[in-house]
Amino acid sequence: MALATGGALLLTLGTATGSQAATGTLTYVRADTGSTATIDNPSDQFCYFMSNALSAHNGTNSTATFYADSFCDPGQFLGAAQPGEGITFGSARTMSVRFG
């Protein structure tokens, strides 16, 4: 019984520490409306849809990596912004971002 309880505790601790989140806000300008949108305290390694962004400012404490598709495909890499950095995408619009 102690072995089963210890195993369950290990699984619980493993999943509790497996998911990290960046602290802060990514702010971006939407190409379709020109309005500003945000992603607050994003989870690391999760792919976020950005709705065709023109530019972004990474106000989080994690690296933001941007992609031209909606699925964070590494083959569609556009650029990255370190914490506190801004990025402009030019003619290529970004559709997704991943942190971490």
pLDDT in tens, 49-100: 998 999 999 999 999 999 999 999 999 999 999 999 999 998 888 999 999 9
Phi and psi torsions of 14, nearest 5°? -65, -40
Distance separating alpha carbons of residues 78 and 76, to the nearest angstrom: 6
22, 100 contact by CB (below 8 A): yes
pLDDT in tens, 32-60: 899 999 999 999 999 999 989 999 999 99
pLDDT at 38: 97
> How many Cα atoms are found within 13 Å in the side-chain-facing hemisphere of 53?
29
